[in-house]
């Protein structure tokens, strides 16, 4: 019995638990999920400072200032960013101030240099042609966060701005969830390494690299195993080692019903097999199991099926292991650029290319020549065209759903 895609996915995710946390240096937190709330060790801003280059003034002195009625103030100091403000601005006085410099005592606003002009003798007096509100162009101490306040929360993903917040709040390192170590195994007597020229009947082991790249793209750490021949003992040994070393096992090949497809019996003898068929295409033969508590996902060896199966089942599982809550890529509705026919019984996930037909309409067409050039088609595509079970013919112009591979799960 084939499982529905939803049920299969539910079961895959059901086997996965968020991994433990580790402390990493600040920059390595990029793209990871915070395991702790982050608090600031200082006020930010740490002191009242100028948001503009100009003059620190007392707003009351400039009441009524305008182009026709400029107000002259005595300039008593120049305060650069990085200096400590030691002067005090009294009534009728101003201090030249640079962006980021501390606002001196007595001043309660900054007037932009653009609204001022100098009076002779050069630099001693300034004419201001604009009134200012109390507090104008001053960034207040503690305005962004007060000392001890929370700037980031556990469960949030760390982007470049969060890295900046960690730095601003004194965190040289931080606790994030561990990246899953993912064993990538390719089984098949026909496979040769990338450095070899395939002899008669042999092909290069491309899946190992495609899948390792997908693991990396999903935030995991791939452990590529040597090619595993179609022999039960060799498969058993590789699976055992994988379960000992990895948080998740991805295998390709040998999950079908061919004479030399030993993955399922070996999985059953070492651990448990949970399902082995999903009502989808490509990738009808896909196997979920566990060995010593480590989730195992067996993809069909066909490069397209492996790629799609990983995207639908393995990628969300790896995200869950990393503590991510968004597990689904955004979907969109597009109009089919041409007719597509399929078997009615299964759901199809076809590599396709989404383009913008006009301002508010997307168009989708199959990418490349799918059975003949699977990796080229996948490379040229930017989405998966989802065609539901129950229908076999989709005429040109039909509204269809696509999964946007060009967008991350956190997009809306």
Residues in touch with ligand AMP (CB under 6 A): 186, 188, 190-191, 203, 205-208, 252-256, 258, 300-303
Separation between Cα atoms, residue 225 and residue 187, nearest integer Å: 10
How many positions of this chain bind Mg ion (CB under 5 A)? 4
- Cβ-based nearer residue to ligand AMP, 53 or 190: 190
With CB cut-offs between 5 and 8 Å by kind, which of Mg ion, ligand AMP, none does residue 322 bind?
none
DSSP string spanning 34-61? Answer: BSS-EE-SS-BSSS-EESSSEEEE-GGG
Residue 206: name its binding partner from Mg ion, ligand AMP, none (Cβ under 5 to 8 Å by kind): ligand AMP
Closer Cβ to ligand AMP, 33 or 305, answer by number = 305
49 binds, among ligand AMP, Mg ion, none (CB under 5 to 8 A by kind): none
Nearer to Mg ion, 92 or 198 (CB): 198
Cβ atoms within 10 Å, residue 64: 8
* 3-state class (DSSP) for residue 299: strand
What is the number of the residue whose Cβ is closest to ligand AMP?
301
Residue appearing with tokens 């509705």? 333
Between residues 85 and 235, which has the closer beta carbon with respect to ligand AMP?
Answer: 235
The answer to whether 309 contacts Mg ion (rule: CB under 5 A) is no
User: DSSP string spanning 114-141?
Assistant: GGEEEESSTTTEEEE-S---TTTTEEPT
* Cβ closest to ligand AMP, residue 112 vs residue 375: 375
Binder of residue 170, out of ligand AMP, Mg ion, none (CB less than 5 to 8 A by kind): none
Question: Nearest approach, Cβ of 398 to ligand AMP (angstroms)?
Answer: 31
Cis bond before residue 256 (omega within 30° of 0)? no
Is position 253 an interface residue for Mg ion (rule: CB under 5 A)?
Answer: yes
Beta carbons of 154 and 176 less than 8 angstroms apart = no
205's contact among ligand AMP, Mg ion, none, with CB below 5 to 8 A by partner kind, is ligand AMP
3-state secondary structure of 332: strand
In the complex with ligand AMP, which residue's Cβ is closer, 108 or 261? 261
Q: How far is the CB of 261 from Mg ion (least distance, A)?
A: 6
Instruction: For 198, list phi and psi in degrees, rounded to 5.
Output: -65, 130
- The one of Mg ion, ligand AMP, none whose footprint includes residue 207, by CB under 5 to 8 A per kind, is ligand AMP
Residue written as tokens 């595993």?
Answer: 228
Least separation in angstroms between residue 158's CB and Mg ion is 40
CB of 221 to Mg ion, least distance (A): 26
Q: Which stretch binds Mg ion (CB under 5 A): 163-171, 247-255, 323-331, 369-377?
A: 247-255
Distance CA 316, CA 281 (A): 19
Q: Is 295 in the site for Mg ion (CB under 5 A)?
A: no
Around Cβ 92, how many Cβ atoms within 10 Å?
13
Query: Which is closer to Mg ion, CB of 169 or CB of 285?
Result: 285
Whether the CB-CB separation of 175 and 152 falls below 8 Å is answered with no
Tell me the sheet residues that pair with 351.
384
- How far apart are the C-alpha atoms of 162 and 7, rounded to whole Å? 36
387-406 footprint of Mg ion as x/- string (CB under 5 A): --------------------
CB 349 within 8 A of CB 282: yes
Which residues in the 134-193 window bind Mg ion by CB under 5 A? Answer: 188
What is the binding site for Mg ion (CB under 5 A)? 188, 253-254, 301
């Amino acid at each position: 019995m084939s499982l529905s895609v939803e049920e299969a996915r539910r079961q895959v995710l059901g086997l996965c638990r968020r991994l433990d946390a580790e402390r990493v240096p600040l920059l390595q937190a990029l793209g990871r999920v915070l395991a702790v709330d982050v608090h600031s060790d200082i006020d930010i801003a740490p002191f009242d400072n100028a948001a503009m280059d100009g003059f620190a003034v007392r707003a009351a002195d400039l009441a009524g200032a305008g182009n026709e009625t400029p107000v002259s103030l005595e300039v008593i100091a120049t305060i650069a960013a990085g200096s400590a403000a030691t002067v005090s601005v009294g009534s009728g006085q101003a201090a030249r101030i640079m962006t980021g410099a501390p606002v001196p005592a007595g001043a309660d606003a900054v007037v932009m240099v653009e609204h001022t002009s100098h009076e002779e003798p050069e630099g001693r007096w300034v004419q201001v042609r604009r009134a200012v509100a109390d507090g104008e162009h001053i960034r207040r101490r503690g305005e962004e966060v007060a000392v001890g306040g929370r700037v980031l929360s556990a469960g949030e993903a760390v982007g470049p701005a969060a890295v900046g917040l960690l730095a601003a709040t004194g965190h040289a390192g931080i606790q994030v969830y561990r990246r899953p170590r993912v064993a990538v195994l390719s089984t098949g007597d026909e496979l040769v390494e990338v450095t070899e020229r395939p002899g008669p009947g042999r092909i290069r082991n491309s899946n190992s690299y495609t899948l390792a790249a997908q693991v990396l793209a999903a935030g995991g750490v791939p452990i590529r195993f040597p090619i595993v021949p179609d022999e039960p003992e060799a498969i058993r040994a590789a699976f055992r080692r994988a379960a000992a070393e990895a948080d998740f096992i991805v295998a390709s090949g040998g999950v079908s019903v061919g004479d030399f497809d030993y993955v399922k019996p070996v999985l059953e003898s070492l651990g448990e097999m949970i399902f082995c068929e999903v009502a989808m295409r490509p990738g009808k033969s896909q196997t979920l199991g566990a060995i010593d508590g480590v989730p195992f996902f067996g993809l069909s060896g066909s490069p397209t099926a492996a790629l799609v199966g990983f995207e639908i089942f393995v990628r969300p599982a790896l995200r869950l292991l990393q503590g991510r809550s968004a597990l689904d890529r955004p979907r969109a509705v597009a109009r089919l650029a041409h007719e597509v026919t399929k078997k009615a019984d299964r759901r199809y996930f076809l590599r396709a290319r989404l383009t913008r037909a006009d301002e508010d309409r997307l168009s989708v067409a199959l990418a490349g020549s799918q059975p003949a050039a699977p990796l080229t088609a996948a490379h040229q595509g930017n989405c998966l065209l989802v065609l539901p079970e129950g229908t076999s013919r989709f005429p040109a112009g039909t509204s269809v759903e696509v999964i946007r591979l060009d967008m991350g799960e956190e997009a809306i």
